[in-house]
Structure 1
Amino acid sequence: MVAPLSAAARPEIPAPLPAALPKPTAANLEQTYAANRANASAAARMAAAHGDTHRAAADRALADPSRHLLAFDGRGDGKATEVLGDLAHADHVAVLVPGSDTSLDTYPRFRATAEALRRQLTRTAPQGTGTAVVTWLGYRTPATISTTVLTTGRADEAAPRLRAFIRQLRGVVGRATTFSLVCHSYGTVVCARAAAHLDIDDLALIGSPGTGADTAAALHTPARIWAARGKDDWVGEVPHVRTDFFGVTVGFGTDPISPAFGAHVFAAGQGGHSDYFSLGSVSLTNLARIVLGDTAEVTRD
């Protein structure tokens, strides 16, 4: 583990309020993207005037005309939701939910995972099949080195927002499109808290410290539940326990890759905690197969 970037170590970064927009639809996507890019551009100017060149650069990158922002909020640690691909015409959509230490300051590394999955989908999807990958940085992630990362507090805050977001996406693409939720690290806790109310086809838990549920069945979702962990992922050394500590529940319980949990466990190779989306990796290959519905081709441990 490495020491996280911390917004608390510097003054609050000024930014405009998020753009006031109607619910996204296939017809107004381009206007939505443009309004959020304009908001990111304004945030970049405010951050630069504040003297925060790092945040200004991050905001400026998101304001580039090539970026497709479904949502943007430059305040505090920041939030952003970005589409890679043609969402309105996608046959398969993957939504990525990140873990700890993800903010606008570290967003490029999160986006890189989406780019890798998008490339893999483009490479392997049958001709004429449309795909899109969506980055959902829609919650305030905990710091890796903190007590917050040991509880479900941030996940409980995030779950209603994730449910609302998936409903919004369904309104853009319609019922025929398949949805896969790909959740990493603490993001698996977020997805587990939201799972019972998500209209999705597949839920993939990678590098999970546990979900807060004892079994896959306890997530109360008809979605196929998948789980994987790389051989060198340090999360494998985390005790999979849940206990009350001065009235607060600490830990997340059953290991999602254990037989007791009951998920479909797929191969993730030798990689570490940040390697699930490495190009050419077993884990990335299997994630693309899950998103495309090629479940019979998914390799197992």
Structure 2
Amino acid sequence: MISNDTTLKEEFKIFYKEHPTKNFEDLVEKFAIFGGVGWGEIDTSKPSYELIEKLILKDYHYIRNDVSDITGGAPLYHALLSAVAMGDGKTHSSYKRAKLEKEVGDNAVSELVERGIIRVEKPKKEFTSWSNNEKIDNKLYFTTPFLRFWFAFVSPLFKGIRDGDYTEVKKRWQNREAEFSNLIFTQLSHELLKENFAKEDPLVEISSYWDKNAEFDIFAKTQSGKTILGSTKYTNAKVKKSELTRLQELAKKAGIDADIYVIVAKKGFSSELKALKGQNLRLLTLKNFAKLVE
């Protein structure tokens, strides 16, 4: 495993150097599975499941021992990590999925953070209409892409894998493959925005945003005090003007006065949306991710 001190951007850059390609779609999808671990050569142009079976499932026993060394091997921790990997990462839903009481879950999170396996992101409360005694869930994120993959597709299905039967893994992957790269795409978009605003007006914070009224993939503040809101779209369709309208309506609902909107899209944008691009609307695609590996 790469050092816990390594940032996601650094992990992505290392992954690119080990597996160089001009196809950033392939790179992001394979990074979401294999990122954060040294694998030797990976042909990123090959289908993901073919690589999963060859590099992970057939080496299950060896990798399982390494993962258990990192996590401590406690079934409680593995249940929580699988819940985080398969769900939205919010503490309440993760504990519920893992069948853990809050106190037990909180203690497990503290230990897993201490081990460098997950990190906790707290909600931004300054814009919400929540009263001080209302609780907004924290979100839990894996520090290494590979561990998220392992606890989503391998650890919960270990019995079949152990016996050489990969049917369940293949089925789960086929059902979730399209959406699995979404989170990594969003997190890398955060890194890209740090780069893009570095000279113009550096970001002092960037994260996702959630409250009882709205959720945004991108919430950022610049050094000069500007607020940035945005979304990431890892789909095979071009993003239309309606996405900007949706963001503006959600911002109003959440009571956030955004200075700049950002949309990062896998497949680009409609002509109508591109015509609106300017200082107050930034549009980025996978091609821009090349900046992260320079």
> Which TM-score applies when normalising by structure 2?
0.31
> Which TM-score applies when normalising by structure 1?
0.30
Higher relative contact order (CA 8 A, sep 6+): 2
Structure with the largest fraction of helix: 2
